[in-house]
Amino acid sequence: MVLSTRLLFKQPSLLRGRSDVVTVTPWLAPIVWEDTFDPLLIDAMYKPMNLTIAATVFSVGKYIMFLKDFLETAEKHFMVDFRVHYHIFTDQPTEVPKVNLAVGRQISVHEVPKLNRWQDISASRMKIIHELIKQRISQEADYIYCLDVDTKFHFRWGAETLDRLVAQIHPWFYDMPRDQFTYERRPTSTAYIPNGDGDYYYIGALFGGMVEEVYKLVETCYKNIEVDSAKGIEAAWQEESHLNRYLLYNKPTKILSPEYLWHDQRGKTEVIKVIRLSQVLKNNAEVRENV
């Protein structure tokens, strides 16, 4: 059974604490919105577990300008009072800003090459994260969340997001019907999703979960990207297209509402009670090389 996103606002019988949104998928995974969880209860459950959360962020080329705001606002709102290990990938390691970190939180900087096209940088993330999990994170962390650097935190982003495999509904598509989703539609691509198939359109700028689950996700996606590349194919939205294909056949165990990563270009809508993290307004032509 699949659910058109039009039904995100039409099934009050599925709601827990909200009368305007759906809070569970057809496969019974929760969809997390404000007022669908008790933050005090969630913290009381998870904080005694002594968990470590890894967070990856890529800050390559001119995107280094966003890193300071990302880190400073993360320290105010992201997994507060948990052990957090930020893994920053950049071609400018000496430009990584000094940020005051709370106790139990740390930063590791990983130097990566600057590629010719922003699309290549985007597509390479899956392989790089795969290698990092294999070499380090699998021994160091319980959960991992992969985030975009051109974002700022504004509100609690906490343990209510923890689960085996977590994805977020794209802020531009959460109120659109499935036939308007920009899936990869060419059967020659490994990211192909046929017309009529699909659950939600997930954003590539945010995914995560337990380390072993994310490892399987990024491994599948990067290998499929390489298969496509060998055939001279680039999926419509690079790794986001491959992510959507993977999550169609490997359902997320928890889905985050668009409040967990909003886009400042889109005005706040009626169902968005809080904006927890947002993609900042920017001129893509200025920050992306070879657009």
Which residues are part of the catalytic machinery?
240
| Strand 151-153 to 83-90 pairing | unpaired
Distance CA 171, CA 260 (A): 9
φ, ψ of residue 203 to 5 degrees: the values are -80, 140
| Strand 277-279 to 151-153 pairing | antiparallel
The interaxial angle of helices 211-230 and 118-132, nearest 10 deg, is 140
Tokens of 248: 């169609």
CB 109, CB 96: distance < 8 Å: yes
Distance CA 74, CA 70 (A): 6
